[in-house]
């Protein structure tokens, strides 16, 4: 069910992008200081949105996901060490 929803959302985004690109065909000149690029307005908007998503996703991954993964790894190691201690204590009391 989740895969179907993701597929529908992906197709909707692709269609929306195609519509934006088709409706905004005006030429624009992007000047980066050292180079200039001619492109359509629709393409420029889509590239800017894509770059924003990539930068935002990277910041989210570095700022939120990575610390949570480190915290999870520490918790798993602590749980593993506790289980080993209990197993060792059980072995000593039974032996």
* pLDDT one-digit tens code per residue, 8-23: 988 998 898 889 888 9
pLDDT for residue 74 = 94
Residues 71-82: pLDDT tens digits? 999 999 988 888
**According to the model, what pLDDT value does residue 94 have?**
62
* Predicted pLDDT at 95: 55
pLDDT at residue number 21: 84
Which tens digit of pLDDT belongs to each residue from 20-39? 888 999 999 989 899 999 99
Q: What is the DSSP letter of 83?
A: H
> What does the domain layout of the chain look like in residue ranges?
43-95
- Give the integer Cα–Cα distance in Å for 84 and 86: 5
The answer to whether 44 and 28 are in contact (CB under 8 A) is yes
pTM: 0.63
Residues 6+ apart with CB under 8 A from 44: 28, 30
- Tell me the pLDDT band of 2, cut-offs 50, 70 and 90: confident
Q: Up-side HSE of residue 85: CA atoms within 13 Å toward CB? A: 6
């Amino acid at each position: 069910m989740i895969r179907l929803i993701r597929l529908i959302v992906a197709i909707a985004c692709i269609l929306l992008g195609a519509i934006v690109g088709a409706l905004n065909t005006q030429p624009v000149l992007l000047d980066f200081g050292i180079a200039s690029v001619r492109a359509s307005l629709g393409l420029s908007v889509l590239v800017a949105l894509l770059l924003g998503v990539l930068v935002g996703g990277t910041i989210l991954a570095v700022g939120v996901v990575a610390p949570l993964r480190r915290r999870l790894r520490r918790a798993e190691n602590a749980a593993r060490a506790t289980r080993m201690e209990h197993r060792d204590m059980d072995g000593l009391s039974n032996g």
